[in-house]
Amino acid sequence: MTDPANLTQTESSAASSGDYSADKIKILEGLEAVRKRPGMYIGDTAVRGLHHCVYEIVDNSVDEALAGFAKTINVTVHVDNSVTVDDDGRGIPVGMHSSGISAVEVVMTKLHAGGKFNEEGGAYKVSGGLHGVGAAVVNALSETLHVEVRQGGKVFRQSYSRGTPQGPLKEVGVTDKRGTQTTFKPDPEIFETLEFSIDVLANRLRELAFLNTGLSISITDERLDPVKTFDFHYEGGIVQFVEHINKSRQKLHDKVVYFGHEKDFLRIDIAMQWNDSYTETVSTYVNNINTIEGGTHVSGFRNALTRAVNKYVVESGAGKDLKESLTGEDIREGLACVISVKVPEPQFEGQTKTKLGNSEVEGFVNGVVYEKLTSYFEQNPSVAKKIVQKAVESALARIAARKARDLTRRKTALDWSGLPGKMADCQEKDPALCEIYLVEGDSAGGSAKQGRDRKNQAILPLKGKILNVEKARFDKMLSFEEIKILITALGAGIGKDDFNISKLRYHKVVIMTDADVDGSHIRTLLLTFFYRQMPEVVDKGYLYIAQPPLYKVKKGQKERYLKNEQELAEHLLNSGLDGIEIQAGGKALPMSLVVSSLKAATRFSKAIDRLARRIHPEILRGLFYRGISLAALESKTQLETLLSGLATDAKSKEIPFSYSIDKDPEHNSFFATIETMISGTRRPALINVASIGSPEFEELGKYLQMMQTLGVGPYKIISSGKEIAEVSNPEELADKVVETAKNGMTIQRYKGLGEMNPEQLWETTMDPARRTLLQVSVADAVEADGIFSVLMGDQVEPRRQFIEENALRVRNLDV
């Protein structure tokens, strides 16, 4: 059905007059539907969807491990944010499909195609892949994708561009290995960001290693200097998973409670351990898929846990001083638990599989958990006593918090006198149109109040640092003045019983703090509060972080704020070209051509710098300027000629350089091992089919081609009819233009909100037409929970270890 909001005036008139015929129906062929509506398949085109692409390919490899055919999965994030996933499974079938194309091409280009649809389970009895769209969707949303299959002693390869095959599947060499290797680069035309988070990816791969006992998974980040690899292999399975969750907490009992059971092709594995924190961490999985919204397996577990504990309380008399029965929340306080269920025919809600719907699973889980826990409590009374004591303390705190919570409840919708006095509310009453800024300090709050749009922007200045709720129980938290003010302002209540997201008065809650140490601390305290006490605000996408501009540039009386490095680079380039002329061969070049070529030259230089930790930048430049290509690898003579010329160039520039050439039987070609000196260390690098065909090399080739549209140098820079400089290539030209722009310009790295007057604060940070807001989301609940516990919890040792491990990754340290 056509959305009326998307119709132009002409289309609307035609629709209203009944002009709706068969030719108005459009059929999206092949992968066109995926590119048209990517959110339907990967959730969104932001960070979550970007990482989901990696998970789809990895899940295919994990399915091979579940079927017993793969033992190792290696993931590599390259410097240009392309990703390679390599496994030692059976390899995608390479034979011809009944559709007339290879089975590889079917899997990579056809939706709902895979080894999961045949009767009797097909190629996989249990699989995370349900709809058979994973590989094809990733292919459709990738600028380039290369798939290589090692099978039957042979190597097969096929390449794609935005889902379209660039030729048929070809046999390219021989090998004694097996498996599938997929390398893809997300399409910048689709995704809002291409920057992968190594932490997010590593956390998911760690989960998979925990859930699949004996499976070895590694992830390498080539963007780091030096390159870093994380290896995950756990023989202890989900028991080690729970130990990992509780590593920064004080445990109530030493040994993790574990049990597993299988019946009628359903299997459940549960590991649990209580700690002294005030939060529960229950992570649930179905066929290795993280069901972040829960489902029938979670409800079955919770009901059984509550019944089992209350049964023990009644029979042992442990809760005789408690006038109320224990609730599920009381019992689960401080619980760290992992539930892994294997279901042959799982029913998920949506392609992103966040909630399980199989009704038979609830009864199965409920029965198993109740029986096993009841037996465990009888056999381990000392552990049961500690668990019950913890739950009783939680219940007493819950009861004590009722009165405190009542004091923070928002007044009725007609009684606005309940709002904090220092808060400046907005005129709009529709929450969907309202936003509130939580501003650090009264000074910045004053500027924000003056600069805001009074119609729909509310300002709440927060004095000092709020209470760290990670270390405080509910009743203590509600006695803290700034937290009471915040709860009252938001109007949705607090606590699991009283919080009502529908009463939230603002659907944009924006944290706006300075970009210094104190600002970061206040932001972290607020994030801790929302994550622990109002998680629905985060889950619904209502929480944001303001992104003030990173730079302020000033030249003469003109000043401008620039939000990031890329915007600064473009500003300098445009400023440098203002009022000058570029000539080549005595003729002026069109400015549009100059701009596009110099932007490409700037990106070429940055891409070279990204790879400089592996290959000396001048050697890498020489490879491209001398025309390195896949064709060059097919002839040993041609490769030798190219490298010997490069060696001559290196000698003239006094750059240590050596090389060797060998046969590459897997691709029926040759490869070179070159060695250069980087930061005083000799580093080898391979120049082979994989590296030249990689997205990062393809990107460099594309930029070089765009640079060469300027024609042959030298290039002259003319200003006011006079030649001010002459350079030999586009890279030097771009550098010279930027250098010219910097003359007389002051570039200041922005830091504090107080540096801006109300007008500047509005223009750069609060104006919806120009601002940038970072939406807060939870990509990995387990790791988020762990990070909050490490950074904000009572245990000092885990925090010290975290600082030691991450100290070298700090940039722009503020002390």
Q: Which residues are catalytic?
A: 440, 514, 516, 518
Read off the amino acid at residue 540.
K
DSSP label at residue 132? S
CB neighbours of residue 561 within 10 Å: 19
Residue 261 exposed, middle or buried by CB count within 10 Å (0-12, 13-18, 19+): middle
DSSP string, 685-712: EEESHHHHTSHHHHHHHHHHHHHGGG-S
DSSP label at residue 766? I
* 660: β partners: 673
Q: How far is CA 176 from the centre of its chain?
A: 36
The 10 Å CB-count burial string (b at 16+, else e) for 522-556 is: bbbbbbbbbbbbbbebbeeebbbbbbbbbbbbeee
Contact 204, 197 (CB under 8 A): no
φ, ψ (nearest 5 deg) of residue 451: -90, -10
> Please, what's the largest Cα pairwise distance for the chain?
98
- Would you state the structure tokens that stand for residue 535, as one six-digit string? 């998680």
Q: How far is CA 652 from the centre of its chain?
A: 45
DSSP string, 199-241: HHHHHHHHHHHHHSTT-EEEEEETTSSS-EEEEE--TTTHHHH
φ, ψ (nearest 5 deg) of residue 80: -95, 15
Kindly report the CA angle at 449 between 444 and 455, in degrees rounded to 5?
150
Read off the amino acid at residue 314.
V
DSSP string, 614-636: TS-HHHHHHHHHTT--HHHHH-H
Contact 388, 313 (CB under 8 A): yes
Closest to 87 (Cα-Cα) out of 101, 103, 76:
76
* DSSP H helical ranges for 534-653: 535-539, 565-577, 591-611, 617-625, 630-634, 636-652
The 10 Å CB-count burial string (b at 16+, else e) for 462-500 is: beeebbbbbebbbbbbbeeebbbbbbbbbbbbbbeeebe
Write the CA distances from 38 to 26, 35, 133, 351, integer angstroms: 17, 5, 12, 11
- Would you state the structure tokens that stand for residue 165, as one six-digit string? 């095959």
Q: How far is CA 265 from the centre of its chain?
A: 34
Q: How far apart are the first and last CA of the chain?
A: 57
Contact 136, 113 (CB under 8 A): yes
3-state secondary structure of 774: strand
